[in-house]
Amino acid sequence: MIRLSAGRRHPISSPRIAVAVALLIVGGHTVPATGSREPAEPAPVTLRLAMAADPDSLDPHRSSASMTEQIMLNVFDGLLNPTPDGGVEPGIAESYTISPDGLTYTFTLRPEVYFHSGNPVTTEDVVFTINRLRGADGGPALSSEFDDVEEIEAPDSRTVVIRLARPNSSFEKFLYRAIVPAGYYRQAEKPIGAGPYRFVEYMPQNRIVLERFDRYYGETGDVDRVIVRIIGDREARLLALRAGELDLADVPTDRLGEVEGQFRIVTALANSVFILGMNNARAPFNDPRVRQAISHAIDREEIIDFVFDGYGVELGSSMSPAMPEFFDEGLVGTHKPDLDAAQQLLEEAGYPDGFPVELRISGHSPIYTNTAQVIQQQLARVGIRTRIQVIEWSMWLSDVYTNRDFQMTLIDFTGKLDPYPVLRRYISDFRRNFLNYENEAYDEIMERALRSPDPETRARLYMQAQEILAIEVPAVFIADYQFIWAMDGRFSGYTPYPLFFHDVRKLRYAPE
């Protein structure tokens, strides 16, 4: 047996993503016996996994839920594709160049790339996609990541040129966004991409089915079919795994001992920022002293121990150590647990006896409900009386994330390939700044970082931005936790990414 593990208590000793592997053999797939005269055709390999809630949208340009992207990245390819080390590599584009001034991106498309409809991917499709994302097709802009695009053209059948109005040091990392067929507007009903797996069906509250796309231009693994079961209850997911009904499922840290030695265990730092978010536009959270008091009242170590069983690292701002070149370790502990300091700040803000507050959370994961209970007890120590309201994930997305109707909430901001989209969540006019945080100095620093061509300057500016967040506390930055997956031992090759992605094409299957 080979096992690479970082241990139990705060196991991330290195900021780099780690993978732990333990070997097993467990039931789940049956390979028919071959005949005595002629070898039988190998049975199709099916990977069965689970997700905790329905996708928010199958349209890749309208989806904002990481668990949706975790599956649907298998259906779509971009001009560039993400790499496990946080970079990008040629995808639909065979090669590309960036002009010295950072304003012109020139892409050469691969000669034979096909959509799942059977139609070839053309420069027209690329132009349509970028224009759709930036709102230049007559519809609304679907991503602010493409706001700097000034012009896109296709001078010939294999070349696409994108010109920016101003330099954007993060733009290259945005180009893994899905390329879709020109003029096709039914992605939410029947997604059509050019990725390694094609969409077959979606039954709400039941399953998503994908199949290998035989005309995919790149290499694929051994999986022919993917069945994603939608199972909201983690206990039900664990039972389905142990019963041989799933081949891959998340495992709660406190249940890891039940599956070790039976399944291949994969762990990795999630590159996530788990926060207690506050609506900065509403009293009393529009007063930074109140937010700082709450930060002093929160014992992050207690949450990591109770909720994540020690499988996490404490954060001081909105950045995970999984991105070590941008992570400022010195900000951890900016607001250490200090009830006296919390009480004094509340008195200065005019709340000597605390106040009542509603904590609205999604019920799709126990990390939210468990953390909410710990926070409820912690805030009670300084007179803040917390009422927990658990709502469905779809309602959280609409009411809290979109309509900003909340006082406090819990969410884990998932990883990105670049620090800018991690930290832009707090820019005043960013359309997804649902915490309603506003700070002109922060906005200016982020703008300078985005426009800077120098990597060292960018890193320094992002450190400064994190320091502002650590001091002003638009949210209480709690932890980055490890995800833990248990996988049927006949599968191998699971590859973690700094964003949520089950890369099925990298999986290999060895029958018993």
User: Going by DSSP bridges, is the β-strand pair 408-413/491-492 parallel, antiparallel, or unpaired?
Assistant: unpaired
Distance CA 387, CA 500 (A): 31
Q: Is residue 496 in a domain?
A: no
Question: In the prediction, which pLDDT does 39 show?
Answer: 65
At 227-243, the pLDDT tens digits run 999 999 989 999 999 99
- pLDDT per residue over 283-314, tens digit each? 999 999 999 999 999 999 999 999 998 989 99
- The residues near 458 (Cβ < 8 Å, ≥ 6 apart) are 169, 419, 449, 452
Residue 104 covered by a domain: yes
Domain of 81, in residue numbers: 76-174
The β-bridge relationship of strands 225-230 and 46-51 is: parallel
Tell whether 107 is covered by a domain. yes
* Residue 143 included in any domain: yes
Q: State the chain's maximal CA–CA distance in angstroms.
A: 86
User: To 5 degrees, how large is the angle CA 355–CA 357–CA 363?
Assistant: 160
Tell whether 90 is covered by a domain. yes
Asked if residue 258 is part of any domain, the answer here is: no
Strand-pair category, 273-278 with 408-413: antiparallel
Is residue 100 domain-resident? yes
Q: For 263, which DSSP code? A: B
**End-to-end CA distance of the chain, in Å?**
17
Give the residue carrying structure tokens 């909720």: 307
Q: What is the CA radius of gyration of the chain?
A: 24
Are 61 and 131 in contact by the 8 Å Cβ rule? The answer is no
The domain tally of the chain equals 1
Q: Which mean pLDDT values do the consecutive 10-residue runs of the chain (512 residues) have?
A: 34 40 38 53 92 95 93 98 94 97 97 97 98 92 94 97 97 97 96 98 97 95 97 92 95 87 88 96 97 98 93 94 91 95 98 98 92 98 98 94 97 91 95 96 97 94 97 97 92 92 96 80
Q: What Å distances lie between residue 503 and 59, 249, 506, CA to CA?
A: 19, 14, 6
**Residues in a beta bridge with 114:** 120
pLDDT > 90 in the chain, percent: 80
In a domain, 130, yes or no: yes
pLDDT of residue 18: 39
The pLDDT of residue 483 is 84
Output the domain CATH number for residue 156.
Answer: 3.90.76.10
| Alpha-carbon gap, residue 106 to 504, rounded angstroms | 30
pLDDT at 19: 38
The CA distances from residue 425 to 170, 269, 354, 415, 429, in Å, are: 15, 21, 28, 12, 9
